[in-house]
Amino acid sequence: MTITRGDFLRSLPGAVNHVAFDAGDGEIRSLDPARAWRIALTVLPELRIGLVRLGRHRVEIFLTGYDEARTKRFLERFELYFRRAGG
């Protein structure tokens, strides 16, 4: 994702339906033991376009306790909250 960690964390509550979470240095974990999720954030080199520099992160999502339908809904909501400029 072309996003800073700060911007990612500001958008995350809505993206995960306001489930409580704990944000560590490279990992964010839900505090819901029934349907747990974990997001690993890895810093990538900045994207440079002329004088513009954009922060980037690799985002990996791991879900536990989700069936196929709930997995799909989780990922669709997550994508919706991080979509920019109409997709």
Q: Supply the pLDDT for residue 27.
A: 96
pTM value is 0.85
State the Cα–Cα distance between residues 65 and 45, nearest whole angstrom.
Answer: 33
Confidence of residue 87 (pLDDT cuts 50, 70, 90): very low
Q: What is the CATH number of domain 5-82?
A: 3.30.1370
pLDDT digits (tens, 9 = 90+) for 21-79: 999 988 999 998 888 999 999 999 999 999 999 989 999 999 999 999 999 999 999 99
State the Cα–Cα distance between residues 33 and 85, nearest whole angstrom.
Answer: 34
